[in-house]
A and B are shown apart, each in its own frame.
Chain A
Amino acid sequence: MNPERWGEVQRLFATALEAGEADRERVLRRECSDEGLVQDVLKLVAARPAREFLVPPRLSEAESGRRLGDFHLLEEIGRGGMGVVYRARQESLGRTVAVKVLPANLTLTQRQVDRFQREARAAARLHHPGIVSILTVGEEKGTHYFAMELVEGRSLAEELVRLRADLGAVEDEPATLPGTREADYFATVADIVRQAADALQCAHENGVVHRDIKPSNLLLDRARKVKIVDFGLARDEEQGVLATTREGAGTPHYMSPEQARSQSRQVDYRTDIYSLGVVLYELLTLARPFEGTTSREVIDGILGREPARIRRLNRRVPRDLETICFKAMARSPKERYRTAAAMAQDLGRFLAHEAIVAHPPSALQVLGRRAYRHRVALGMVGVGVVALVLGASLAFEHRDRRRLSELGEELDAALDQGRLRDMPVARVFQLREYVKEYRSLRPQGEVLAAEPADPAQRLEQAFDAWRREILEEGKADLAQARDKGKPEGAREFHLLHGLQTLLHGSYIFADDEELRRAAALESVFPTLSVQALGEDGRQIPAHVYLRAIDVLTSGVEGKVPLGATPLAATPVRPGYYRVVVVFESGGFREFVCNPGPAFLQIALVARRLPNEAAVTEGMARFEAATYTLPEDPKGALHLRDRVVDLGGYYLDRTEVSNAEYQEFVAATGHAQPSYWKLVPDLEEFLERYGDHPVVGVGWKDAVAYAEWRGKRLPTAAEWLRGAGGLENRPVPYAAPGEVRGNVLVPHGPTGGEEGAWKRYLDHSAPVLSFEDACTPEGLFHMFGNVLEFTESMMVEALDMDHPVPRAFDRIAFGGSWDCVALGQSMRTPTYWGIGSLHDSYRLGFRCAKSVEP
C-alpha cells in the first residue's frame, strides 16, 4: 500500500458505499480494473469494527468512587456543556441514575447559584416521557450537582456522526436510526422530531425554556424514543455567547437569530422551536444550515444568510418535511409555529399520510410482482426470437441446406449443455425456435440414408420429457395444496409453487392445452386470447408478444413471446400490459390491457389494415432516448425525476377531431360521444365543428378508436416528452415569451350538460390552429384546447416513496382552454375513470404508435 493506491482506495470506498449493496461489485469493477484493489475495497466495506474500537476510555480518577449526597459516583458517561455526567447509584433507593456534576473550580457568583437552583427546580417539575426527569438537585462542599434518570442510548449527535460516515446498520450494535437511504428514514426522523416538539410543549406550558436544543441534548433510547436533557441548565446567558469553546459547549449552530443577537429579553420559548427546526434540517440533509470556521462566521450566517434549500441538498426529502422545517426556522419568531404542539401536529399529519398511503399487498399482487421480475428476464430475449422467426420464414423459402446443417449442429450441441430445465428461459425459447425451423426445413420422416440421426428429434423428446415433468410436479404440488390435513402455511406454499411451476411451463409451452387445464388457471388467473384478421375478416398469421408496463414510470418492458395467432385463452399473470401483434405480412398492432381480478377474460382482435405503412403518415417521429421525467410543482408527483427508456415512437400532430371520430363511429357502429345527443343536426355540426377536438369520449372509447386506426394512446412519458422535449421545457413552444395557445379563457360555471356543451362550442379551437404555440416538432395544442388521455394508469402518491397505482383510473395531461385560469401547467395530471361514463366536455385525446413493435 502506498499513498497513490490509498488515494484510489478512498475514492472507490466512497463510490462503493454510494452504490447499493446489490450493485456494489459491478460498480467497483467498472471503475477499477485492478481486481486486488476491488477486493481490498470490498473487505473494507464489509468491515464492522465494534463501537468502542479506537474510542478513548475515560477514567476520571478524581471523581469516580466519590460520593455526592445520596449518590455514589461510578463511571463517567459523558461530558456536557458545563460539567461531567456520571453513572451513579442512589443509595437510599438502590437505583442507578445519572448525575451531572458542575466543575468545582468554576467560581459561580451567588446570583448564578440561585439561578441554577431555580432552574433546576423548574426542570424538576417537568414530567414527560420525552424529557429526562430531574430527580434531585444538591450541593456538597461547593460542588453543585443534580441527579436525573439514566437513559441507555445515544445522543442524536452521535447518530449524526454515524450517518455522515455512512455506516449504515451494524449487526453488533443496538438499532437506532435507519440508514439515510432506507425507506423509513424520513418517517423515523419525523417521528423523532415530533416527540421532541411534544416534550418541548410540556416544558413551555410549565414556563421552562430549554435554550440549548441541539443533537447532543437529544438522547435516543433503544426504542427510538426521544429524551431531551439539560433544560436551561447548560447555558449561562450572562457568560456571553462566545465565552466557551470547549467540546459541545456553546456551539452556536443551533442558536436562533434572537439568541445569536444576545438579546436575552427577546428570547422566549420560540427559540426552542427554531433550534428544533435546525435539528430537523440536519437530520434531513446531514448538513447544518449555517456553517463556518469560527463562531463569528456561523453567527453571521444565522443573522444574515438564507440556508440552502433542503431538497436541493437531498432530493429525496418529502416536500412536506421541507415546509415544516422552514416554518420552524423562520427568522422572525412571529412567523414560526406558534407553539411546539403546532409543529408536533404538522409532523403528525405528515406521518399519518405515510400510514394511509402504504397498503399491505394482497396475495395475487405478490404473485404478480414476482412474475413481473421473472418477466423482465424473459423479455430480454424477445428481440432475438423475433429475428429468428423471420429468419425461419426466409430459410423456408430457400430451403437452404447450409442452414439445415448449421441448425443441426446447434441442436446437437444444445443437449450436451445440460438439462433443458437448467437453461435460462431465453435459451429454451431459442432452442424451440431452432427446432421449429429445423422441422420446417426437414419435415419428420424425410430421413436420408446418409444423414445422421435427427438432432431435432432428440430435442423434441427432451422437451416432451420436460413438459411431462412440469405437469407431474405441478399436479403433485396442487394435490398437496388440496390436502386438508396439512397446515395452512404449507398448503399455501404448495398452491403457489404448483401454480408457478405450471404457469412457467405454460409460458414455455404456450400452446399446451393440458398444462393450462392442469392449473385450472381459468379460475385463478385471467386469460388472454388474440386473433389476427386480414381486411377480408379472415384469419392471418401473426405473432403475439406481451410487454409489461411499469405503472410507476409508464415505461414499457421487453417483449415476451406468447405464440402465434389464433392465441387461445392463454393465462397471464395479473398486471398492466401492452400486447403486440406482429402480422407476418408486415405491420403490427398494439393493445393495452389490464388482466386481473376485474378483467378475467380478455379477447383481442388485431385487424390488419390495407396499408399498414400509411398509419404513421403525418405523425411526428420521436427517436428512442433515455428520458428523465420533469420536475414541475404542478406536475405528477410519482413521475418526478424517474428515468424511462423510451423506444422510438410517433405522436399525432393534432388532437383527434370530430370528423375523424365520426369516421370511426360510422365504420364500426361504436357509440357516439356522449354530448352528440345534444346536437340537433349531426351533419351541420360536423360541417361547422368537424375540425374541433372530439370530447365526450371515455378512455375505453379513445383506446378503441386508436386501435381501429392502427395506433394506440401515448404513455405518460411519451406524452410529456412530446410536449416539452427531452429538456422538459415548461411550455410546448421553444421560446416562451407571452403565454400562447388556447389557454387563456377565464374559468366559469357550466350549468349542467347543456351549459358544458355550450362552453365547449364557444371555447374549443380547431385542432389545427394556434400555430405559434406548436412544439418544435409541429405538435398542436399540447398545452390547452382540450385535455388529452394517455394510456397510463393513475398513481396516487403524496410523496415519491409511497405510490399506489389505481387500476381503474387513467391520467390525462395538457390542460384545456381555461387551464391558466385554473392554475394548471401542461403537466398537471388529471384523473379519469376508464369507463364511457367518465368523459368530459373538455377531455379528448391524440394517438401514438411505436416505431418498432
Chain B
Amino acid sequence: MGTIIDEDPSRILGELYAELRVMADGLMRDQRHDSVLQATALANEAFLRLSGHECMEGWDRSRILAVASAAMRNLLVDRARARNRLKRSPKGERISFQVLCLAYEDRAVNLLALHDALERLSRFEPEMARAVDLRFFGGLSMQETADCLKMSLRTLERRWELARRWLMVEIG
C-alpha cells in the first residue's frame, strides 16, 4: 500500500481506504459500465456508504475527496509497479481502465517519479501536494480544488504553477 498524505492515524481511515480500494477493484471487474472512474465518483460512493457511521463525524466532503484522490493515486501507482514487475498488464483488467491508466501515465510523464516527488513536496508544501492529488488524481476542477483547500482560486493558480514546475524539474 502507498502512504496516505493525511496524517490522521485513526482506524476509520484504514477502513475507508479499504472500502475505496474494494470499490475500485470492483469497478475493474464489474459488469456495470456506467460510472465515471474518478475519485469524485469514488468519494461520492464512499460518502454515501459511510455516512451515518458514528466514526464519520467531522468528515465532510472535502476531507473525503482528499483521501479518495490519494487513494486513486495509490491505486494507479500500485498498478504501475505491478505492470513493471510483470512486464505486462495484470490479468482481467478492463480495457477502459487500461486506457485511463495510460492517460494518467501519459500526463504524469513518469507516474512513479511523480509519486516520489509528491512525497518530497508534501514535506515543505503540503497544500500543493494535496492540490495535485485533488486536481490530478481526483479530477476536481481548479475552483473545486481551491474550495477544498480553503484558498482563493487566484492564490491556487499561482502556487499551483510553481509547484507544477518544481515537480517537472524533479521528475526530469
Q: Which residues of B contact A166 (CB under 8 A)?
A: 161
Closest chain B CB from A804 CB (angstroms): 38
With A1-B120, A58-B38 already in contact, 5 other A-B pairs whose C-beta atoms are closer than 8 Å = A47-B169, A54-B136, A55-B107, A57-B100, A165-B160
Check if A164 sits within 8 Å of B33, measured CB to CB.
no
Q: Which residues of A contact B107 (CB under 8 A)?
A: 52-57
Which 4 A-B pairs rank lowest in CB-CB distance, beginning with the nearest? A57-B103, A47-B165, A165-B161, A49-B168
Of B6-14, B85-93, B151-159, the stretch lying at the interface with chain A is B151-159
Chain A interface, >50% SS class:
loop
Closest chain A CB from B81 CB (angstroms): 20
- A161-176 interface bits toward B, Cβ cutoff 8 Å, 1 = contact, 0 = none: 1001111000000000
Check if A54 sits within 8 Å of B164, measured CB to CB.
yes
Of A3-11, A341-349, A583-591, A837-845, the stretch lying at the interface with chain B is A3-11
Separation of A52 and B104 alpha carbons in the complex (Å): 10
Closest chain B CB from A724 CB (angstroms): 38
Given the interface pairs A6-B125, A59-B37, A61-B35, the reply to whether A247 lies near B143 with Cβ below 8 Å is yes
- A462-487 interface bits toward B, Cβ cutoff 8 Å, 1 = contact, 0 = none: 00000000000000000000000000
Closest chain A CB from B164 CB (angstroms): 6
* A185 within 8 Å of B (CB atoms): no
Separation of A13 and B161 alpha carbons in the complex (Å): 11
* A2 within 8 Å of B (CB atoms): yes
Separation of A428 and B55 alpha carbons in the complex (Å): 83
Given the interface pairs A61-B33, A161-B157, the reply to whether A56 lies near B169 with Cβ below 8 Å is no
Closest to B135 in A: A56
A-side residues, CB < 8 A to B, are 1-3, 5-6, 9-10, 13-14, 43-44, 47-50, 52-62, 161, 164-167, 247
Q: Which residues of A contact B161 (CB under 8 A)?
A: 165-167
A-B contact pairs, 8 of them (CB 8 A): A10-B159, A48-B168, A49-B167, A53-B164, A54-B167, A55-B107, A57-B104, A61-B96
**B18-44 with Cβ < 8 A to chain A:** 33-38
Q: Which residues of B contact A165 (CB under 8 A)?
A: 157-158, 160-161
Closest to B126 in A: A3
B-side residues, CB < 8 A to A, are 33-38, 96, 99-100, 103-104, 106-109, 120, 123-125, 132, 135-144, 154, 157-162, 164-169
Q: Which residues of B contact A58 (CB under 8 A)?
A: 38, 139
Closest to A58 in B: B139
Chain B interface, >50% SS class:
helix
Closest chain B CB from A7 CB (angstroms): 9
Cβ-defined partner of B162 (8 Å) among A1, A2, A13, A59: A13
Separation of A43 and B169 alpha carbons in the complex (Å): 8
Check if A164 sits within 8 Å of B165, measured CB to CB.
no
Q: Which residues of A contact B165 (CB under 8 A)?
A: 44, 47, 49
Check if A56 sits within 8 Å of B138, measured CB to CB.
yes
Q: Which residues of B contact A44 (CB under 8 A)?
A: 162, 165-166, 169
Separation of A50 and B137 alpha carbons in the complex (Å): 17
Check if B124 sits within 8 Å of A2, measured CB to CB.
yes
Indicate the member of B36, B132, B159 with the most A CB atoms within 10 Å: B36
Separation of A14 and B34 alpha carbons in the complex (Å): 45
Q: Which residues of B contact A61 (CB under 8 A)?
A: 33-37, 96
Closest chain A CB from B17 CB (angstroms): 21
Separation of A50 and B138 alpha carbons in the complex (Å): 20
Separation of A62 and B125 alpha carbons in the complex (Å): 37
Closest to B128 in A: A6
Separation of A62 and B160 alpha carbons in the complex (Å): 31
Closest chain B CB from A92 CB (angstroms): 28
Check if A56 sits within 8 Å of B137, measured CB to CB.
yes
Given the interface pairs A44-B169, A56-B136, A247-B143, the reply to whether A62 lies near B157 with Cβ below 8 Å is no
Separation of A53 and B132 alpha carbons in the complex (Å): 11
Closest chain B CB from A179 CB (angstroms): 14
Closest chain A CB from B105 CB (angstroms): 10
Check if B34 sits within 8 Å of A62, measured CB to CB.
yes
Q: Which residues of A contact B120 (CB under 8 A)?
A: 1
Check if A49 sits within 8 Å of B106, measured CB to CB.
no
Q: Which residues of A contact B123 (CB under 8 A)?
A: 1-2
Closest to A64 in B: B96
Q: Which residues of B contact A52 (CB under 8 A)?
A: 106-107
Separation of A164 and B141 alpha carbons in the complex (Å): 17
Check if A164 sits within 8 Å of B157, measured CB to CB.
yes
